[in-house]
Chain A
Amino acid sequence: MEVRGSTVSPAETMAGNALLDEVRAQLAQIPLLGWLCGTLLATAVEQTVGESLAKALSLPAIPGLFGLRIILSPLFEILLAVIQYRRDIPGLVASLKTIAPDLALIPGAVAFILLVYILPTLIVARLSAPLTNRLAKWLLDRFPLWVSLLLHLGLFYATLHLWGDISEYRMLILRFILISIILTLSLNLVNGYMGEFSCSHPGFMAMGAYASSVLTVLFFVNDDVFGAPLLPPAIGPFMFPLALIIGGLVASVGALAVAIPSFRTRGDYLAIISLAFMFIVKSVIENLEIIGGPRGFMNQPKWANLPIVFAWTAICVWMIYNFTRSTIGKASCAVRDDETAAGAMTINTRRTKMVTFLFAAFWAGVAGGLFAHVMGYINPGTFGVLKLSEVLAMVYLGGLNSVVGSIAGALGLQLLMEVLRPLELWKWIVIPILLIVLMIRRPTGLIAFTEVKIEDLLRPRQTLRSSAQVPGEGR
């Protein structure tokens, strides 16, 4: 094939490819354990020398989100200035001058990312690879899977904690991302695994948020409306999981009200009924003066700190992963693909749909409860069409029918929304356009219908030489 307009000669490309292959081969030897050690060290580096390094690189502070904002926002500003002063050249120059100092920060930010995140991670991960490989193998061989899993989760949590410790902002973003993961995964159960289109997730979230908030405020907080705490506030944090679970159950009961009329017939009825349900929930809350009505409900104790949110997210991912891999869970995929055939193969289709839907609603409720106790304040306006668009976008961005996809979707969209914050209003034009393009290119999302087995994630990576004999290695 003729390569036109390419300045790179074939030989050069091949050399480039060879280098890339070599890098890829080197990286393929690192097990997950190694990567986690690397990131942990990187965050530790940031903890210890981040401040002074940032100062040395003449950055005002440690970059919040991997310096993405520092790099992108001047570019946006230039773009906006160009749009604003199309014909007014002096004005353009003047405004560009005000942007210039921001622009000067970019090299520093890039250097910071390289020095603090990328290099330490790569070096530690690669150097420790022989050790971590052996460790991963030993863990898997000698102990049950969950020991290794817990170790990985622990390391991951430590990384997150160190990273989030730098600023209040990071802590908040992290918890929002984790909550979004719960929401996205649970909605994916309905829209992906079950193939229905549910719009009531914000409603379930609101039910969970309000139910758990009422419980915690009633029992553990001195509130104007609910009066003195019924139980000593000291035991509150221990009862918090119970409040969340009750919130989830309340959401499940709400889901029952949606499920009973809509699962009698197949088709679009779930979409409409769940949409109406969402509006009803919002409107009912607005009419309940005791929980603040349209003004919102506040005074929730902020118990949903990072470890709590992380633990709940881990439990949610684990349970949904378990569920979707079991034959009972896969029955919902069978119902989605062909309901008649599912019935003829002994699958109780109605029960399957109910169970999946209620389970999804439960997690939406838990996510709502966590959200309420992160913010310490909720109002019904939060749980409307915008939230629905957001969660749906996360599900379809990440990919239907995929646990990893949902995690990626929640993470991706949440980060995107943060990174594009300097765009202000235009953010809500750029993100939808990106999503539309994505939908046209990949209608089922980025990582749809892909399963990653935990065993595969945790397993040691062979060195390249010996991997040739092992089939299925180093895909």
Chain B
Amino acid sequence: MGRRLKIVIFSLVGVTLVVAFIFLASGMSPASFFQHLLNALQWGSFYALIALGYSMVYGVLMLFNFAHGDIFMVGAYIGWGIATGLVALGMRGILPLPNWLILVLTILLAMFFTSFVGMLVERVGYRPLREAPRASAAITGLMIGIILETGNLALLGAQRRNFPSLIKTQTYHLGPVTVTNVKIMIVFLSLLLMFGLHQFVRRTKWGMAMRAMAYDFVVVPLMGVPMNTIAALTFGLGSALAAAAGIFFGIAYPVLEPYMGILVGWKAFVAAILGGRGSILGAALAGFLLGFIEIFVAAIFPSTLRDVIAYSIILLILTFRPHGFFGEPYSARLRL
């Protein structure tokens, strides 16, 4: 516990220092700096939520779930469907609900349904391959991702969808910094979800089983931990978080398209690795870090350089900390 606390404090201090350095080096005005900081928090919370799903699956099952970015996309679309449906019902007067209730329902239902999508992916694509080389499972993951993207294109067509605006955007002026209620809500809800996951993993029986599996997935199933249930649970939880991220994304940038998962998902994957294998705290922190890097790179340099610099920084960090922020050194059991 003491060690963990120390790490958290150190990383917080580190992040603060980096942020302060960027602030000083970029020569931004404090106002625009805080504006970017806020944007970075919002942008980072998408990454963090998605990265959690990657990280959990990687931690528990030692798999790269390459379909996770597309589950994020599916979650966003499910949320879009529910929200649009509820709004339409309200318009026709069949089920008039206040907007905030629609939002709550959308988030909860989308998380619920998307978790089943995740479990389905696990059941179809990963469970039959549990004894196989892990690389083969990575291939099925890639293929499921393609199926989800193309399936979406085939069912809904290529046109972009607009997420219905459920909350009236209110802008608060704190001095020169503008804050919208949407941003605050997104960041707050994301942090709440992460905290909830953290509590779940630490306090419940299922969470303990997940941690045990992450520690050793050969022996732990022999101790009576139901491996299939835990695997499904891991995928379900990760997908639910991805769905939440999808909805938040939809609210913040109200355009959805079938390939949005590629854009965000792969980066979140890299962030998950940066956080360290199976570390929830690490994934969340790395997600936010990636958000910071991207927003500030785009603010200081031409925005086309965003990917180059973000990935280069990640490469640099991984070169010096090959196990990520909180990952333990381990030797992969390559089952080829």
Direct touching of A and B (C-beta under 8 Å): yes
Residues on A close to B: CB < 8 A?
A: 191, 195, 197, 261, 264-269, 271-273, 275-277, 279-280, 282-284, 286-287, 336-337, 385, 388-389, 392-393, 396, 400, 425-426, 428-429, 431-433, 435-436, 439-440, 443-444
Q: Is B150 an interface residue (CB 8 A)?
A: yes
B158 nearest CB neighbor, chain A only: A425
A283 nearest CB neighbor, chain B only: B307
Are A261 and B308 touching (Cβ within 8 A)?
Answer: no
Decide yes or no: A276 and B270 within 8 Å by CB, A195-B336, A440-B129 being known contacts: yes
Number of inter-chain CB pairs below 8 Å: 131
Q: How far is the CB of B265 from chain A (nearest CB, A)?
A: 10
Q: Which 9 A-B pairs have the closest CB atoms?
A: A443-B132, A432-B143, A283-B307, A267-B332, A428-B150, A443-B136, A261-B319, A440-B128, A283-B308
Q: How far is the CB of B56 from chain A (nearest CB, A)?
A: 16
B316 nearest CB neighbor, chain A only: A261
Q: Which residues of A contact B124 (CB under 8 A)?
A: 436
Decide yes or no: A280 and B312 within 8 Å by CB, A385-B262, A429-B147 being known contacts: yes
B290-329: CB near A (< 8 Å → 1, else 0) gives 0000000000001011111001101100110011000001
Interface centre among A286, A396, A439 (most CB of B within 10 A): A439
Are B311 and A444 touching (Cβ within 8 A)?
Answer: no
Are B322 and A264 touching (Cβ within 8 A)?
Answer: yes
B336 nearest CB neighbor, chain A only: A195
**Interface residues contributed by chain B, number (CB under 8 Å):** 49
Are A191 and B135 touching (Cβ within 8 A)?
Answer: yes
Are B330 and A267 touching (Cβ within 8 A)?
Answer: yes
Q: Is B236 an interface residue (CB 8 A)?
A: no
Decide yes or no: A280 and B143 within 8 Å by CB, A261-B319, A429-B154 being known contacts: no
Contact of B322 among A197, A265, A392, A426 (CB under 8 A): A265
Q: Which residues of A contact B329 (CB under 8 A)?
A: 265
Q: Which residues of A contact B225 (CB under 8 A)?
A: none
Q: How far is the CB of A35 from chain B (nearest CB, A)?
A: 32
A425 to B151, CA, bound (A): 9
Contact of B334 among A195, A277, A439 (CB under 8 A): A195
| 19 residue pairs from A and B, CB less than 8 Å apart | A191-B135, A261-B318, A266-B331, A275-B270, A276-B270, A276-B311, A276-B318, A280-B308, A283-B311, A284-B308, A287-B302, A336-B334, A389-B142, A429-B146, A436-B125, A439-B129, A439-B132, A439-B139, A444-B132
Interface centre among B143, B147, B262, B307 (most CB of A within 10 A): B143
A272 to B327, CA, bound (A): 14
Q: Is B64 an interface residue (CB 8 A)?
A: yes
